[in-house]
Structure 1
Amino acid sequence: MTFFEVVAILLAGVAAGTINTVVGSGTLITFPTLLAFGVPPVTANVSNTIGLVPGSISGAIAYRRELRGQRSRVRRLAVASLVGGTAGAVLLLVLPEGAFEAIVPALILLGLVLVVLQPRISAWVARRHEAAGGTPHHGTWWVWPGVMATGVYGGYFGAAQGVLLMAVLGTGIDEALQRLNAVKNVLAAIVNAVAGLIFVVVAEVDWWVVLLIGVGSVLGGQLGGLVGRRLPPLGLRIAIVLVGTVALAAFLLG
């Protein structure tokens, strides 16, 4: 690996860690970078997933203030992410290449629509909860299976996982967007960690790539915390839509 490749992959890890903490879709930077340097697609995907685990943890730590008072919610949804991430990693190993990616554009598009409509949907959900005697702490019934389905997707590939998670959480839980973004970072970390653990055992891993992306993503996670926590709800929503649109275009044009 040349010095240029080392620097490029390291910087891609920083960018991915930052974007993942603020929105999600950092894989759209690291994965193409690895392919450009000749890393085989499956190895690139596997190594990228493992490398982004420290960055996901770093991002969750950066948002620790927004996580206060959400322990029971995080613990409940963490089980969904654990199950989904495990299933997604297994799918990557057993399905033909490209089989699952066929539905990725549709998933991203659905996530973008939900994010755009999130204020209206959340207001409707809040009215229903209030009429029923209060807003459930864990949100509507479909939040748990929605988080699990997002975990399946994240365990398989991961690009725009954050967009989909924010769509599910934002429309199903009556909570401030920044606090939900903090939950998103924890859930994404769990998906990456469980998938990464499976990949370490049964898949081919490029450990130099893991090291470089890991170091970069840790720095990016802290940087993303500084940036993301200062964005107003509208700014965060716009960022989610912009990154999600780029992700959708990348899949359709790629």
Structure 2
Amino acid sequence: MGTYFELFFLFLMAIIGGAVNVTIGGGWFVIFPSLIFRGIQPVTGTATTTIILLSGFLVSSKPIKKTKEISKRHFNYMVLACTIGGVTGAFLLVAFSHKVFETIAPFLLLCSWILFTFYNQIQHYFNAEFAVKKEFRYSHKKLIPIFLLGIYGGYFGAGMGMIIFILYSFYGIKNNETLERLALLLVGANNGIAVLIFICSGLIFWPFALVMITGSILGGYLGNAFKEKINIARVKKNAIVIGATVTLYFLL
């Protein structure tokens, strides 16, 4: 594959991945295998995928108004716990051998695909099962799952935003604006600190990353602009098939 065609292919995949990420989630299933297909090692591919998707996610996200369900102080505790988890997860990715990651990653990918495929059913279950919770009540114990989720986000991170939605639905938050704000800031803080560690560790493959960051940002804007006009159900079905193919490839 020629250099220009190769870069165009990655740019196109980044546009698709960025658009998918802001509409239905699951951009990981597009970006990560594209990098692996072009010969990038899985650990480097994970680090590079993180910065690509994070760029598109943050730049194309709409500002979220302050919500009343969680106080500013408690919200800061959650961001801090998730950020510390991100530092831990990123250092685990850097410190352990590539072979360890290559052994674990297919199963993490499988779990994220299951979550992506059955997300609506899982979310519906939590909304129905815990509808009796009238309001969110903060406790320090709630920081432990957020810290553990932060480790996952720094180490691998696929589907982290969906897990945040499910976790806080379990905690009693039903307001979508609150959930979106939580996902935006927790994912941003977690992946942001992880990306800084990846950059300092030399894990980002910049020749591809710079091209794909541009594509991801463009895809994010296009995804938000046409979200109301596209057939979300059909897009998700296609993404599920692609995700299943990618997952099977890495498992086998």
Distance (Å, rounded) in 2 between the aligned partners of 1:4 and 1:30: 17
Distance (Å, rounded) in 2 between the aligned partners of 1:242 and 1:141: 40
Instruction: Figure out how many residues of one structure are paired with residues of the other and give that number.
Output: 241
C-alpha displacement at 1:142, in angstroms? 6.6
- Which residue identity is paired with 1:5? E
Q: 1:11 is matched with which residue?
A: 12
- Which residue identity is paired with 2:3? T
- Which residue identity is paired with 2:168? L
- State how 1:137-176 maps to structure 2 within 5 Å: 144-176=143-175
Partners of 1:108 and 1:163 within 8 A in 2: no
Residues 118-141 of structure 1 show CA distances to partners (whole Å, capped at 9, x for unaligned) of 2342244331x34xxxx1265x87
Q: 1:101 is matched with which residue?
A: 105
2:67 to 60, 66, 69: 69
Percent of matched pairs sharing the same residue:
23
C-alpha displacement at 1:201, in angstroms? 0.8
Describe the SS at the equivalent of 1:98.
helix
Larger mean Cα displacement after TM superposition, 170-179 or 152-161: 170-179
Distance (Å, rounded) in 1 between the aligned partners of 2:183 and 2:194: 17
Q: Confirm or deny that 1:36 pairs with 2:62.
A: no
Q: Residues 30, 158 of structure 1: CA spacing in aligned structure 2 closer, same or farther, 3 A cutoff?
A: same
Partners of 1:18 and 1:221 within 8 A in 2: yes
Q: 2:136 is matched with which residue?
A: 136
Distance (Å, rounded) in 2 between the aligned partners of 1:206 and 1:17: 18
2:247 to 241, 246, 251: 251
Describe the SS at the equivalent of 2:185.
helix
Q: Please report the TM-score for the alignment, with normalisation by the length of structure 1.
A: 0.76
- Which residue identity is paired with 1:94? A
Q: Please report the TM-score for the alignment, with normalisation by the length of structure 2.
A: 0.77
1:119 to 110, 124, 133: 124
Describe the SS at the equivalent of 1:162.
helix
C-alpha displacement at 1:243, in angstroms? 4.9
Residues 142-176 of structure 1 show CA distances to partners (whole Å, capped at 9, x for unaligned) of 75433333322222222222332332233333223
Larger mean Cα displacement after TM superposition, 170-179 or 41-50: 170-179
- Which residue identity is paired with 1:117? I
> How big is the alpha-carbon RMSD for the aligned residues of Structure 1 and Structure 2?
3.4
Q: 2:197 is matched with which residue?
A: 198
Q: Confirm or deny that 1:208 pairs with 2:207.
A: yes
Larger mean Cα displacement after TM superposition, 33-42 or 94-103: 94-103
Residues 166-211 of structure 1 show CA distances to partners (whole Å, capped at 9, x for unaligned) of 3223333322335423432332222221111001111333212221
Q: 1:48 is matched with which residue?
A: 49
Q: Which runs of 5+ in 1 are unaligned?
A: none
Q: Hey, which bits of structure 1, 4+ residues long, moved more than 4 A?
A: 110-115, 140-143, 235-246
C-alpha displacement at 1:241, in angstroms? 8.7
- Which residue identity is paired with 2:189? I
- Which residue identity is paired with 2:8? V
Q: Which runs of 5+ in 2 are unaligned?
A: none
